[in-house]
Amino acid sequence: MVQVLPNERDVYANLLRDSRGLRRDQSSARDGWFASLPWEKKEQTLFELEMLLKGVACFGNPRNHPGPSREGDSLGHDYVEELRILRDGAAQVGALVRGLLGDRERAYTFSRYLSSVLPEDSSRGQLLQDQLTQDTPEEALFVLRNAFASFQDVIDGALRLEHAPVKLYSAIQGILAREIGRNVFFNPLMALEFRPEFDRIRNGEVLEALHSVRSESAHRVCALTMLSLFRALRYLDLIDEYATSPASARRSYLILAVLRSDLRALSRYLGRHAADVLANGLEREMMSVHMLELREQHASLVTEARRLTALRNGLETVANALRVDTRKVFRHDLPAPSAALPGDELGPQLVLATAALRATVQHAIVALSRVIASGRPPPRLALDARSRAAQGERLRREIWMFMQILRAFIAKAQVAHAGSDRWAGASSFQFVRDFLTHFRAIGYQLVRANDYERLDPFLEALEQLRDVDLVEPDRLTGAVRECHQFYEFLEELFREVSQRSALAERAFDREDAVTTLRVYLGK
* Residues 277-330: tens digit of each pLDDT: 888 888 888 888 777 787 887 888 888 888 888 888 889 889 988 999 999 999
**Model pTM score:** 0.83
Q: Which CATH number fits domain 204-382: 2.10.240, 1.20.120, 1.10.3470, 3.30.1380?
A: 1.20.120
Hey, how many other C-beta atoms are within 10 angstroms of the C-beta on 270? 26
Gap between the Cα atoms of 40 and 159, Å rounded: 37
Gap between the Cα atoms of 443 and 452, Å rounded: 12
pLDDT at 131: 60
Gap between the Cα atoms of 445 and 313, Å rounded: 9
Element (H, E) at 151: helix 137-159
pLDDT at 353: 92
DSSP states along 325-389: HHHHIIIIIS--GGG---HHHHHHHHHHHHHHHHHHHHHHHHHHHHHHTTTSPPPP----HHHHH
Q: Which of 362, 329, 57, 370 is nearest to 237 (CA)?
A: 362
Instruction: Return per-residue pLDDT of the chain as tens, 523 residues.
Output: 334 444 434 667 777 777 677 788 888 999 899 998 888 889 999 999 999 999 999 999 999 999 887 665 667 789 999 999 999 999 999 999 988 887 766 665 555 545 555 556 565 565 556 566 788 898 899 889 888 988 999 999 999 998 999 999 999 999 999 999 999 999 998 878 888 888 888 888 888 888 888 888 888 899 999 999 999 999 999 999 999 999 999 999 999 999 999 999 999 999 888 888 888 888 888 888 777 787 887 888 888 888 888 888 889 889 988 999 999 999 999 999 999 999 999 999 999 999 989 989 998 998 899 888 877 777 877 666 677 778 888 889 999 999 999 999 888 887 766 555 544 444 456 788 888 888 888 887 787 777 788 888 888 888 877 765 555 667 788 888 889 999 999 999 999 988 888 787 888 989 989 999 888 887 6
Q: At what angle do helices 274-287 and 252-272 cross, to 10 degrees?
A: 40
| Domain boundaries defined on the chain | 22-182, 204-382, 392-521
Q: How far apart are the first and last CA of the chain?
A: 48
SS3 assignment, position 193: coil
Sheet strands (E) in 15-80: none
